[in-house]
Amino acid sequence: MKKKSFEILNTKNGVQDFLNTDNFVKKTCEQLNKDLIGFLDYSIEIPKADFLQSLINQLVSVFYELESSSQLPAFIYRVDLSEKLFKAALMDRDFYHLGFQVVQREAQKVFLKEHFKTNE
Say if 71 falls within a structural domain: yes
What's the rounded Cα separation, in Å, for the pair 65 and 70?
9
Say if 17 falls within a structural domain: yes
What's the rounded Cα separation, in Å, for the pair 118 and 21?
17
**89-64-10 Cα angle (round to 5):** 40
Q: Which residue range forms the structural domain that includes residue 58?
A: 7-41+50-115
What's the rounded Cα separation, in Å, for the pair 23 and 1?
8
Say if 14 falls within a structural domain: yes
The H-or-E segment that residue 87 falls in is helix 83-92
Say if 120 falls within a structural domain: no
What's the rounded Cα separation, in Å, for the pair 7 and 80?
17
As for how many domains the chain has, the answer is: 1
Say if 67 falls within a structural domain: yes
Query: What is the value of pTM for the model shown?
Result: 0.82
Say if 2 falls within a structural domain: no
Say if 36 falls within a structural domain: yes
CB 15 within 8 A of CB 103: yes
More confidently predicted of 2 and 16: 16
> What's the pLDDT at 67?
93
Q: Give per-residue pLDDT as tens, 42-92.
A: 899 998 888 889 999 999 999 999 999 999 999 999 999 999 999 998 899
Say if 1 falls within a structural domain: no
